[in-house]
Structure 1
Amino acid sequence: MVCSTVTFGQTTFYAEGIAGYTFSHRTFYLGQEYARNINGASFSLGSRINVPISHRWSFQTGVYGMGIAVTGRVGFSEYTSRSLKIYIPFLAGININDQIKLSAGGGIRNNKDLKMFHIRGSHNIRFDMNLRMDYQIGNRLNLMLSLHQNAGLPKVYLLNDPSLHIQTGVSYRLFSKSDRPLSGDKSWQHDRFNTKSKANKTSQTHMSKSKATK
């Protein structure tokens, strides 16, 4: 999530593409029937904001559009489901080193498909727990791996959006505002050294000219 070029005190913006596998790891009853073999795929596109709190810690949030495709069985019948969600995470992250960042927190998304969502309806929103790891592979590019666990919902809503999501994807740093690097990037030190060296050389030149004039 945080590249080596990210700086202390800056807010950094990312674009992300994510794909994953989703499933319900338990068989459960719906009325008089068993629901089982519920699994599918999820795809997300969105943006993320990283706000450093200290040298190692940061707060993250964002907005994602998520598509979920699921198949399963209820009793002797098979079913397929397609749904669209809007997902907003809230995470606290810590830099393990210049390449690895771990984050934990939660998130919210619409529990019902956008076409069925109604502001006065019940169980409109679901919450999940979210664990995430980011690994930097370039100046702007990171790989990510995340685990989502949903809980506390009526089981019928697990038919089209199962309880577990395992996701992987790429995160691209769009832009950031910075003055001082947080870690890793030594170019600012090199530039500062060069600036001081040039200033010292200029000062020595002026002193030499002054002595020559005297």
Structure 2
Amino acid sequence: MGKKKRTAILISGRGSNMRSLVEAARADDYPAEIVLVGSNRPNAAGVAWAVEHGLSTVVIDHKSYGSRADFERALQSALDSHGVELIALAGFMRLMTPEFVEHWRDRMINIHPSLLPSFKGLNTHEQAIAAGVKIAGCTVHYVRPEMDAGPIIAQAAVPVLSRDTADTLAARILKVEHRVYPAALRLVAAGKAACVDEKVIISSEVMETGGLFSPTI
């Protein structure tokens, strides 16, 4: 395979999706190399895990900066110093400025715990249960300036059961997140998920395998 894409993962909390990406990237044939884990919160549990597993880390506390632009300049400096080519947001709880998003256009991806465009923002599982939907899930997408918006790379669905609470539904979705995110990053890093007219086109060789993502019911 060719040169692996140098990838940064940005987190704000425990980083469970970060862990799934790191584990996937250990494979010799995986097209992304995790070269940096960054966080805007000094006490994020995921940072400690990353350090324990020998990953380069950086903490840039957004509270130490007078503006979002100042914070992003510090973040960009860290990304540049590690030669980052792709960014994977994994529970990164900061909205980026349009300027930062455009700089990383089609090189920054995010995972959201709903089947976008439904249930954007926070409390997605509560929203799904309140709406009475029978299927929920997760979405990996290219990042755009609008919150939880952008061309969809991959989705996976799980059933919403009548006895579900927000916690039980979240746990069921998280299991598929840990499979879908590494698969989606593989596509992006390998150049097999092209964004054309704000829609993602998956390369024909992937599609010929029958596709990667389907409901679990």
Q: Same fold (TM over 0.5)?
A: no
Shorter-normalised TM range:
under 0.3
Higher strand share: 1
* Structure of higher CA gyration radius: 1
Higher helix share: 2
Normalised to the residue count of structure 1, the TM-score between the two structures is 0.22
